[in-house]
Amino acid sequence: MNGTIKSIQDIVKNLNEADLDPKTEVVIAPPSLYLLLTREHLRKGLEVAAQNVFDKPNGAFTGEISVEQLKDSGITWTILGHSERRVILQENDSFVANKTKTALDAGVGVILCCGESLEQREANKTIEVVTTQLQAVADKVKDWSKIVIAYEPIWAIGTGKVATTEQAQEVHAAIRNWLKDAVSQEAADNTRILYGGSVTEKNCKDLAKQPDIDGFLVGGASLKPAFVDIINARL
């Protein structure tokens, strides 16, 4: 819930003029009020995501946004299951899975978030928590070709704390192994797994070298010009 017309225009202008790694797919997710503004000004080849979508068609669901409305506006992705939605707004695994299926069925790609709290990590339940969140989706969705998984340790979001490269890689590898067992070998090979949790231009290059980290879900740093350096982490 950040941004104004002016600040978003500035971010878009910076991206439009930047020399970006052509091998890195870039998707930006402004608040819903600014989705059309962003899509109309962002250059072709860069995509726009909603931060959420509802699991029902258009109708009497005041305050929500439908997949049909996203498609009508040229929005090709949505973020679902973000920890703030799970924790603050009490969205459970089943609701996130329903929304994921609804988006995918309509042809909108999903950036599916999963992650554990500090208490869960200290109780050695990280993999159990993350795979339970993902399993709820696997129970309803068989085709994962338009899902990108984003692992975001809740304790590392906006805190300045970052999982070490080893911690992040360990969870990403476990997620890939889970994909092989619960979905398919093809899903394990082809599903991109992003890391999200206080990613900055300072730590992105080391994280990007890890074999199972395919990209980043960037929070606060995406509001700054250094976002371009994160996009170009593999150059």
Q: In the prediction, which pLDDT does 163 show?
A: 83
Give the three-class secondary structure for 192.
coil
Measured between alpha carbons, how far is 110 from 130 in angstroms, rounded to an integer? 17
Q: In the prediction, which pLDDT does 158 show?
A: 73
Return the bridge partners of 184, or none.
Answer: none
Range of the domain at 9: 5-231
Report the Cα–Cα distance between both ends of the chain, in Å, rounded.
31
Q: Which stretches of the chain score pLDDT less than 70?
A: none
Q: CA dist 54 to 78, 90, 96, Å?
A: 10, 14, 9
Alpha carbon 132 to its chain centroid, in Å, reads 18
Catalytic-labelled residue, pool 82, 91, 172, 201? 82
Q: In the prediction, which pLDDT does 51 show?
A: 98
Asked about 82 being catalytic, the answer comes back as yes
Torsion from C-alpha of 97, 100, 104, 108, nearest 10 degrees: 180
Catalytic-labelled residue, pool 116, 152, 172, 201? 152
Longest Cα–Cα distance of the chain, Å, equals: 48
Q: In the prediction, which pLDDT does 142 show?
A: 96
Q: State the DSSP code for 81.
A: S
Asked about 172 being catalytic, the answer comes back as no
Q: Tell me the H-state helices in the chain.
A: 5-17, 35-41, 67-72, 83-87, 93-105, 118-122, 126-138, 165-182, 185-190, 204-208, 227-231
Number of domains in the chain: 1
Is 231 within 8 Å of 21 (Cβ atoms)? yes
Q: Would you say the C-alpha torsion 16, 19, 24, 29 has a positive or negative sign?
A: negative
Q: In the prediction, which pLDDT does 56 show?
A: 97
Helix axes 126-138, 165-182, angle to 10 degrees: 40
Residue 226: CATH number of its domain: 3.20.20.70
Is 53 within 8 Å of 65 (Cβ atoms)? yes
